Amino acid sequence: MTLTAPEILSKKIAKAVSDKKASDIVIMDMKALTSATDYFVVASANTATQVRAIADHIEDELRKDDIDFLHKEGYREGEWVLLDYGDAVAHIFMQEAREFYAIERLWSDAPLTTYED
C-alpha cells in the first residue's frame, strides 16, 4: 500500500512529536468528517515548555523538507499549540487541557491510530 502525501505528512509530524517525548500520540483520519484537513495529530506534554519544544521541533523537522505551517495558535501560552499544515494539523496539549477539550471525543467518528515510533 502506497501512502498519500497527507498520510506521509501526518506521520512526519507524529515522528517529530515522538522525538520530543510526547505521550499518547494519535493520528486521527478526518477525511470523511471535515474538508478543513485530512489528519489531526494529537499528543500530550507535561509542561508548557515541553509543548512549545515539541511545536518548535515539528517546525524544524518539516522545514527541512521545505514544509511551512499555514497557521499557528497558542504558542505563547503553551497550554495547547495548534500547527496547521493544511493536509494535517498538529494539536499539542498539556495533559489537563487535552482532557478538558477532549478532541478525540469531539471527533469520535474519526478513525484513530495510536502512533508508535
- pLDDT digits 0-9 by tens, 79-91: 999 999 999 999 9
Domain with 51, as residue range(s), is 5-114
Report the CATH number that the domain containing residue 46 is assigned in CATH.
3.30.460.10
Whether 88 contacts 40, CB under 8 Å: yes
Please state whether 33 falls in left (phi above 0), alpha (psi between -120 and 50) or beta.
Answer: alpha
pLDDT tens for residues 14-38? 999 999 999 999 999 999 999 999 9
Q: How many domains does the chain have?
A: 1
